[in-house]
Chains A and B, each alone.
Chain A
Amino acid sequence: MRLLLTVNGAAWEGDVEPRLTLADLLRERLRLTGTHLGCEHGVCGACTVLLDGEAARSCLTLAVQAEGAAVTTVEGLGGPDGGLSDLQRAFLAAGALQCGFCTSGFLVSAEALLRDGRRRTREELRELLSGNLCRCTGYEPIVEAVLRCQR
């Protein structure tokens, strides 16, 4: 099936099988392997991307459902020169990553939260970020990094 969408600001067009998930399209066809696949059924959050500006699970979205949509992956969060975003720098400064597997999902989820401009408490952020799992259990510095970005 013919598919046309925008990924990190660039148009992409190609033929895909209807059963291809958006996650597999990004990773295997576009080679954007920053989007990680953990559970592949919507529990772990590692595959989170922005779909028309809203955080969404790319493993729970068929590529064909994203026809005409604008997708932003972790590769699209930084500046056009490849520089890190404020959020990415805050993750580095707070030590908000260990093995790094969950990091792209957390970054994209946190980016979606920061974009609406609302200032959230530590408790609110903990609850909102509960849809992303970190198996190194480094939740404290992750929440800290997002809090610092709100300031």
Chain B
Amino acid sequence: MKPPAFAYRRPESLAEALDLLAGEGGEARALAGGQSLIPLLAMRLARPALLVDLQRLPELRGIEASPGLLRVGAMTRETELERTAGLPGVVAAALPHIGHFQIRSRGTVGGSLAHMDPAAEWPALALLLDAELEAASARGRRTIRAGDFAIGPLTTALEPDELLLSLTVRGADGPFGFLEVERRPGDFALVGAGCHRGRVVVFATGGRPQRLPGCEAHLRQGGGPGAELRALAEAEIDATGDVHVSAAYRRRVGARLVDRVAAAAA
């Protein structure tokens, strides 16, 4: 369980970081808090030639929480957010589910988004809240909508030389539901679901967080929680099984969670 050898740089400016990421023929990886990347290195599932440590980049820090708007720099640690007043309720409710407190002290918003574990909370929250994700490379900047960001397990719309700068959500206040089934508090979810302003998202079910348009239409047309919503969700959830639970478990428990988060958000 020891990482393979790699080169390491700790740039002091965003421009320097982007040049480093562009310069290794796609073999450089950004290092945020390391809470997901370092296990991948230790298990030798990733073998980057160069790690670019982002901790000294002021452009990637900072939290702006005002009514109707939340903007979070990519290198913001989850512990910093937990200590921030005025967060939208759904974000505050999701934070304690992110690993254990010893992980949240190092883990970052941008690191989790860019890593894209299908069971992680940030990609699901981003989709649920229709977040705008700002990315930069030496070629320029662009904004990626959350719906276009997560592609599959450990795969996002970010190019190898691109860096995530921030997450912005608007109108994230208001009633919500957010629930997970996990083996221990802080473990990765076996199944998770969220509901906010008519959007319904499940995660830890398949390769990436999934919106459930059929369930959303049902809610939009005035249908409430109940057997009909559960049946719609169970049919709609695109689930895979693994060593922990089966695909059928994820569909059935996911449908129950959808029912409960819809009731909480009503």
Contacts and interface: CB of A to CB of B under 8 A. Distances in A.
B185 A130 contact: yes
A67 B56 CA distance: 11
Chain B's interface size range is: 20 to 34
- With a 10 A CB-CB cut-off, give which of A18, A40, A54, A59 has the most chain B CB atoms: A18
Contacts of A18: 5-8, 51
A104 interface: no
A41 B39 contact: yes
Contact residues of B: prevailing secondary structure: loop
A115 interface: no
Main secondary structure of the interface of A (DSSP, over half): mixed
A17 B3 CA distance: 11
A33 B97 CA distance: 31
Interface string B91-132: 000000001111101100000000000000000000000000
A35 B199 CA distance: 45
A77 interface: no
A62 B34 contact: yes
Contacts of A10: none
Interface in B230-244: none
A45 B198 CA distance: 39
B200 to A, nearest CB: 27
B102 A40 contact: no
A52 to B, nearest CB: 9
A19 interface: yes
A127 B99 CA distance: 12
Chain A residues touching B, range: 20 to 34
A103 interface: no
A127 B41 contact: no
B2 interface: yes
Contact of A64 (B43, B53, B100): B53
B264 interface: no
A51 interface: yes
B55 A65 contact: yes
B105 A131 contact: no
Interface string A42-80: 100100100100111101111011010000000000000
A1 interface: yes
A51 B3 contact: no
B43 A41 contact: yes
6 contacts: A18-B8, A19-B3, A42-B103, A54-B79, A60-B34, A60-B106
